[in-house]
Chains A and B, each alone.
Chain A
Amino acid sequence: MHLPSGFFLDHAWLIPLIPAVSFWLILGFGKRFGARAAYCGIAALSAVWVLAVGAVIQWIHRVNVADDGKGGTVSALGAFGRSLARAEEGKSAAVAPVIHATTWFQNAGVKLTVGTQIDGLAVMMLFVVATIALLVHIYSFEYMRGDRRFTHYYAALSLFSASMLFLVVASNTLQLLVGWELVGLCSFMLIGHWWEEKPNSDAALKAFLTTRTGDIGLLCGVIMTFFVVQRATGTGSFDILAVNNAALSGKVGHTLLLMCAVGLMFGIIGKSGQFPLHTWLPDAMAGPTPVSALIHAATMVVAGVYLGARVYPIFWQGFQIGNSHVNFMAVIGGITVIIGAGLAFVQDDIKKVLAYSTISQLGYMVMGLGVGAWTAAIFHLFTHAFFKANLFLGAGSVSHSGSHHSFDMKKDMGGLRKYMPQTFWTFVIGTGALAGIFPLAGFWSKDEILATAGHGNYKAFLIVGLVGAFMTAAYMTRCIYLTFFGEYRGGHSGEHAHGDVAHGVDDAHVHGVDDAHAVPGFGSHDDGHGAHEPHESPPLITVPLWILTFLSITAGWLQFEPGLHLTKFRDWFQPRVAFPLPGLFSANHVATIPDVKFSAGLATISVAIALAGVGLAYLFYWKRAYGQDAAAHNALLGAGKKFLVNKYYLDALYTDGVIAAVKGPIANAAYWVNQYVIDNVLRTTGRVATVVARFVYRYIDQRGVDGIYNGTAVVTGESGGLLRKLQNGRLQEYALFILIGVAAVALALAIRF
């Protein structure tokens, strides 16, 4: 039967279009807009939010209708409609995505499309992106007040929103790639927002180039998705549904699927900050803090995870996750969980703590996908977006009103809970959610990942997850201690040297010294940030914080299984077609995703471990149980700390090793070959020709030739003379003679043939 669609599902193309229009408006009216640029952006995002929520509601309606038994079979789903089984007893009904597409380009007469594919995953992501983007737009109005490139900032935010939403609604992998690169561009623009200072533009370049390194794999992977479909159906396609169907069809060789999965995985490693390409993400903190919250915590960096979820059957089959093979994806995710968390311990910069924490949490998601916990990984993406955005915006609030635009916890913070109670409490709740404390959002999603990791060959990843949970709780407790407890260490505005240059510029720019750059519409940009006591941030900052805090508490309750038996996240957002789910995809004996139930025992253990982390950090920092600085007195700890402070020497390897080699010796060698080898061949040829000609002219033509050789002599003599003329720049004649000569040779050859 026909499942209900609806305006919001059918017109999803409006969602990326609106912020795109906003971008062009802000760009077009530029400085004349002044502060109004923000209104333009906020209005656009409000509209987007309404559309996104509408899409969520209509999608849920669609699912409910199907589950009420009125739905059932779905016909004409790409080429593999036949493999979609009827809803079985106790199983979910198949719900087809709402797809609208139009021609983008054509090849060999085949039209390749651009369009929207709206399903559970897409509407969930739309809600996340729209919500956080809107809050960040509002928050930035206060945070970026008086910035010299205020309008540029909002233009870039709008462009980012448009690109990210384009990526989310994409109906094919090529479109995903387009959105993927465009969000990368926006990330580049916003990290380098204060490009006058080299560290900022360095960070921007690093982000772009590192992710693009991963994109080598993505490019190849996306290309292979086209051929996966071609193998299965005879006609290539990038359409996500077709790709997923083809991957599960059993008609595609495992090697191709494996290569495709590996390629796409490289893309995920680059974009989603996975080891070993995670190094750009901490540097990306050079951008304005709201940008870090939006792009580098909640949305863009999860694009990789989103991609993994979108074409999951490729990974499922390629990495044989169904047979619980320990695979590339799970291993990379697992490593990232631990190395990210480890680095978060030694950061003095609050944003970098959060950045490494993001890396670690992204590791959870990728690991989740790698061990077959699709729903759990995406659920974690969902909850993490809220609490991590909350934490980042909290850090922004601290720097905005508490620490004079510094992010250095050790130099400029401490004791802020007295001055900024709202920021403090929202931050603490966000931390609780991140650490996985019951009943906050992170608890539910992390626990689902752990529960799934426990099956098959994946037990080791359960341990990794638990260790990660312990470390997370501990480093976040340290972060809270340094920021909000103890004595206030700041208060010397302008005095702090900013060991981290990337953030040192915040002050100068936000509260610009140059009136010429002041943005019209704000009047004076001195909002009273001289040497004064830290204070609470204004409502434009705290209200978004509380909204995100609310979501950090409640977002996990969609899967409130104990007692309430809620599995709404799974019911609503898990794909119902072309997906290895029991009862939904029974063709070709594809292994299906395990149906994991909430485990009270595991939940208790993980909360206990998180609390142990908090407790240990409490002993360490509040009680000084291990002395002032244990690392200074213990050689092993000292070495470990040094290793961490140097970021496992990966940055050194990349910057001083790979990049320096390519830019320096390798490029120079290539250029040397160009100038002195290839060019020399030419010069030598020219010289030899001249010498030969001269010889012929002098010794053969002038002296030795007479009589019957006259004819030859004329020609060679002419050419010798011409070569000399060439040196005098008489080129045209030379050219003419070459042509005549060639024509003569040609005729001779032609007759001979």
Chain B
Amino acid sequence: MAHGFDAWALSLVVFTPIIGLALVLVLPRDDEGTIKLVTLVTTLVTFAFTVLVVVRFNYDKTDKLQFEVKKSWIDVIHSNYHIGVDGIALPMLALSSFITLLCVIYSWNHFPEPHNPKAFLALILLLEVGMNGTFVAQDLILFFIFFEIVLLPMYFMIGVWGGPNREYASIKFFLFTLFGSALMLLSFLAIYFKVDVPGVAGGHTFDIPLLVAAGKGGMTHGVQLLIFGGMFLGFAIKVPMFPFHTWLPDAHTEAPTVGSVLLAAILLKLGTYGFIRIAMPILPEAARSWAPWIGLLAVIGIIYGALGCLAQTDMKRLIAFSSIAHMGFVMLGIASMTTFGLNAAIFGMVAHGLITGMLFFVAGSVQHTFHTREMSRLGGLLQQAPHMGWILSFCAMASLGLPGLAGFWGEFPAILSAFNPLSTIHQTPLFRGYMVVAAVGTVLAAGYLLWMLQKVAFGAPKPEFADAHIHDVGVAEWIAWTPLLLGIVALGVYPNIVFRVTDGAVTSLTKVFGG
């Protein structure tokens, strides 16, 4: 257990936004300046705490939980307030508090209609609590609660500040996720009752590390498969994997810019993180049986998402579909159950967070400027707003997996991992087929992104906007975007920044999977 600051560090990262939230709520609605300032300071302080955690983290023991705290919480069901980070959680936690800060900065002068900064920022803070909490929780009930906290702010963000079809989109988002959550909770409860954990009071626990150590705990293979299935649905909907993805394009299309960024950059990762943190380590046997199917849905998602992109006319909807394809690569890596695959998956999650987050920012600014996202109406962005045009081109290149930028290091090792999946899955030839399909997906990705670029950035401006006075990238945008752009380059040039953190934890995790 940690001592001193270390014992408080993660709780501070998770709950500092609550303090900010309380302050924002008591401030009068008209006092926008103070509200914005309080929110900014809160997210800055949260981020500073995260940076402290990152600095004080012991990178020689990434497989051990650090900054660990375990206090009894709900004794009746043996659920504890158990938090901690290892090499798998740390990059996600850093990403989460980093992106939230940038979103607050971007929001400075980009509040969506109806104008209500107080409510909007309060929701962002609440969202941050849920996101940060999910990545540090080491107890199933705690995890579930943080996982669910995220739901409501996003629902309101889409439902209140969304586009014309916001009601449909927000309810769809909510019901889908809730459906998954329900099954997930069911699985958690089943694990609690079915896994015998020696050495704890009552013989049952929600504690994740204890459950991982306990192994199958006397469950038959059939029961494991069922329980895994429940978790699979819960997480797969969040990722989202084909065919549970249809909430995503609608949610993204309707969500305000910041909502889209948070949704793509962090919320989707809750699902993939759940696979890596909970479903696979606790139920490795079932995971091995499910892996070929997960891999299949992953590669279908890669191709299907790309085809969906090709059919779009709305820029933001296109980016939303591209998320399905990219998360397909992440899931393919996870399905391989190898060190390469899991490292790639975590890298892919971070990279996708930066890149797609950035793409949604740009799409938001394009809409803010042109009041449309229809690609057929846009054109010549490089001429009218050269900086924005270049940034869009840069992000498109990063998104299509250009080596030297972050996206590549999520894709390539994931594809590689499919060549030699965990041998005890006993489906190596099948996975090699997946490898080729995934490689084909990279070409389709280049296709839809470059065609988008050609329509939006190249050519001459359309007559309708030819004489319009177009604002290029503004100050708030530069401040919010520059760290993302630098991050994309830095991770691309020196990927070990992330792999160094994840590798130890992933390597010890794969030992649980059995070879």
Contacts and interface: CB of A to CB of B under 8 A. Distances in A.
Nearest to A218: B439
B6 interface: no
Interface string A645-680: 000000000000000001100111011001000110
Interface of A: 103-109, 174, 177-178, 181-182, 185, 192, 195-198, 201-202, 205, 208-209, 212-213, 215-216, 219-220, 223-224, 226-227, 230, 662-663, 666-668, 670-671, 674, 678-679, 682, 726, 729, 731-732, 735, 738-739, 742-743, 745-747, 749-750, 753
Contacts of A682: 172, 246
B496 A106 contact: yes
A102 B196 CA distance: 47
Nearest to B457: A195
B403 A177 contact: yes
Interface in B392-441: 397, 402-404, 408-409, 412-413, 415-416, 419-420, 435-436, 439-440
Interface string B358-373: 0000000000000000
Query: How many interface residues does chain B have, given as a range?
Result: 35 or more
B376 interface: no
B391 interface: no
B507 interface: yes
A17 to B, nearest CB: 12
B276 to A, nearest CB: 16
Contacts of B444: 662
Interface stretch (B10-18, B23-31, B118-126, B184-192): B184-192
A210 to B, nearest CB: 10
A208 B193 CA distance: 55
Interface string B162-202: 00000100011010001100110110011011100000000
A181 B458 contact: no
Interface stretch (B92-100, B104-112, B302-310): B302-310
Given A105-B495, A107-B413, A205 B451 contact: yes
B352 to A, nearest CB: 18
A201 B443 contact: no
A729 B420 CA distance: 49
A216 B459 contact: no
Contact of B442 (A212, A666, A679): A212
Contacts of A103: 496
A209 B311 contact: no
Main secondary structure of the interface of B (DSSP, over half): helix
Given A667-B307, A726-B171, A746-B186, 13 more contacts: A106-B500, A108-B507, A178-B403, A198-B454, A212-B443, A219-B439, A224-B419, A662-B310, A663-B451, A667-B309, A674-B304, A749-B190, A750-B190
B481 interface: no
A216 B174 contact: no
Contact of B458 (A201, A213, A735): A201
B307 A209 contact: no
Interface of B: 152, 155, 167, 171-172, 174, 178-179, 182-183, 185-186, 189-190, 192-194, 223, 243, 246, 249, 304, 307-312, 339-340, 343, 380, 382-383, 397, 402-404, 408-409, 412-413, 415-416, 419-420, 435-436, 439-440, 442-444, 446-447, 450-451, 454, 457-460, 494-496, 499-500, 503-504, 506-507, 510
A208 B443 CA distance: 9
A209 B445 CA distance: 10
A103 B174 CA distance: 45
Given A223-B416, A731-B155, A753-B193, A198 B459 contact: yes
A670 B308 contact: yes
Given A105-B499, A750-B189, A671 B307 contact: yes
A747 B189 CA distance: 8
Nearest to B495: A105
Contact of A178 (B167, B404, B416, B419): B404
A208 B458 contact: no
Nearest to A217: B439
A689 B380 CA distance: 49
A182 B447 CA distance: 17
B185 A743 contact: yes
A226 B416 CA distance: 9
B304 A670 contact: yes
B443 A670 contact: no
